[in-house]
Amino acid sequence: SIFKEYSLKDCKLKENIYDEKYLIRPLAIIDYNHGYIELLRQLTECGTITYNGFKQRFNQLKQCLNTYYVLVIEDINSDKQIVGTATLVCEKKFIRQLSIRGRIEDVVIHDRCRGQQLGKLLIDLLTELGRKKCDCYKISLECKDHLVSFYQKCGYNYEDKQNFLCQRF
Using CB under 6 A, list all residues that contact ligand 16G.
43-44, 104-107, 141-143
State in angstroms the smallest separation of the CB of 20 from ligand 16G. Answer: 27
Instruction: Identify which of residues 96 and 153 has a Cβ nearer to ligand 16G in the complex.
Output: 153
DSSP structure string for 8-55: -GGG---S-EE-SSEEEEE--GGGGGGTHHHHHTTTS------HHHHH
State in angstroms the smallest separation of the CB of 143 from ligand 16G. Answer: 5
Instruction: Identify which of residues 33 and 42 has a Cβ nearer to ligand 16G in the complex.
Output: 42
State in angstroms the smallest separation of the CB of 108 from ligand 16G. Answer: 7
Instruction: Identify which of residues 107 and 134 has a Cβ nearer to ligand 16G in the complex.
Output: 107
State in angstroms the smallest separation of the CB of 27 from ligand 16G. Answer: 15
Q: Closest residue (Cβ) to ligand 16G?
A: 44
Instruction: Identify which of residues 104 and 113 has a Cβ nearer to ligand 16G in the complex.
Output: 104
17-18 vs 100-109, strand pairing mode? unpaired
Buried/exposed 80-108: b ≥16 CB within 10 Å, e otherwise: ebbbbbbbbbbeeeeeeeeebbbbbbebb
State in angstroms the smallest separation of the CB of 152 from ligand 16G. Answer: 13
d(CA 131, CA 11): 9
d(CA 10, CA 7): 9
Instruction: Identify which of residues 18 and 156 has a Cβ nearer to ligand 16G in the complex.
Output: 156
